[in-house]
Amino acid sequence: MSKIILIMTDTQRADMLGCYQETGLKTPFLDTLASESMRFTKAYNTQPVCGPARSAIFTGLFPHSNGITTNSVSLYGNVKTIGQRLKDYGYHTAYIGKWHLDGGDYFGLGTCPEGWDPDYWYDMKNYLEELPNDERLRSRKEQTMLEEPISSDFTFGHRVSNKAIDFLEKHTTEDYLLVISYDEPHHPSLCPEPYASMYKDYTFPVTPNIFDYLDGKPEYQKQWAGKKLNENPSDMEIKSQFFFGCNTYIDSEIGRVLRTIKDYADDALIIYTSDHGDFLESHHLTGKGPAAYDEITKIPLLIKCKGIVEGNTIYKYPVSHIDLVPTIMDFAGLKIPQWIDGQSLLQGLKNHTIRVNDCIFIEFERYEIDHDGFGGYQPLRGVYDGRFKLVLNLLCSDELYDLEEDPYEINNLIDNTAYFDIRSQLHNRLLRWQNDTRDPLRGYYWANRSWCRESVYDPWNHTGMTRQREHEEYETRQLDYDTGLPMKKAVRPK
């Protein structure tokens, strides 16, 4: 039997789990899972905002390839999710929880997309439709927890867990992919007692980059920080009672699910991750958005599977959400499709000394199509090799960080000639990735930067190549423009 379970949260930094860093936050169930899993210490999302991050997790394509480069837009019509792919091979595929890939607003359309079991579909709109209007209003406000205690039954997370437990108990003899996607601890961070008051007097540990005044950093980050740059953070206390309480609460809900998995699917491949983090005042910034700093791009990733993964091991090489789809397909014994951007981590799961990726990539275009704020259009492309991180901000200045010497990414080395070779190597790798993945924003301007004016690309013709799509599991081979016949090579002179 082949059982695959993917559990994810929203807005949960790696250092919000005790197994990653001791901060005083309690996550006992995820910490126990970590002791039975491989823990990835350099795992990253592809874009630090909800929809795009999730699009990579569930398609194996970068946001610029699958169509979701911002919140509130949908996948391209020819893009298939891992649910659709596994269903075609006889798997029972069920998705329970936050989706964010259908082009609807924050809560979704409430409609099961192709590839998933409609009997178990349950997104945030479905949850809200269960509530009368007055309770809907209460469900969207942190103030609710100050007015009167709420029960677990009232929260989205508890209802998601209930449906997941029902699935696990009823489908013990099938091959399946089960996705359990919580909105918590994302705002409004609803949680019952004792969690709601557990961190009333708690302060999250500050890091040196709360003193990053963004000197030598891109101008847009200073605009983002705004008046905070005039504040002295020496006496700063990072407090967020309900957010941190909900972090521990959702750990307890995951614990309910993990207990059921132990009873009914103990040999399953279990993947746990989150979509992105939150700055929590680092770099004088809040929330998440157009940046590649670790606080919002580095995410927790735990993978457990008896007989394959040795428990309590650490994988120290860079990996990405983009690698999850090929890993799942490889585990299931299926051929990894040609039109997939990531790499299978299966060999790394079997042997933590095997490095799968030479580097990983991060992008950004826009926070949300519905909103005019959040900096608007902020095209970013980044590459990280496990030590150095190069970030190109198309409309602004660029960044280079040495995370071994400067783990809090305070010192921008982009104009430091001592790093000429590593900067050039990462730059070339990034440009090659843009070409390989058919990045629609690729062009000479990514090569012709202020610190690297000698572009190898023709400003008008770029590389002079055509790069047609190869998605032949679900569509016929594309036709060559010059012949009208099926193309022989997808990449060729144009």
Residue showing tokens 């790696």: 14
Residue showing tokens 């909900």: 246
Q: Exactly one of 19, 64, 92, 100 is catalytic; which is it?
A: 100
In sequence order, the 6+-apart residues with CB closer than 8 A to the CB of 468 are 478, 487, 490, 491
C-alpha distance from residue 43 to each of 7, 31, 121, 319 (Å): 16, 17, 28, 5
Q: In DSSP terms, which residues pair with 94 in a beta bridge?
A: 178
Task: Establish whether 246 is a catalytic residue.
Answer: no
Task: Establish whether 92 is a catalytic residue.
Answer: no
C-alpha distance from residue 446 to each of 297, 382, 412, 432, 494 (Å): 21, 11, 18, 11, 21
Active centre residues (catalytic): 50, 100
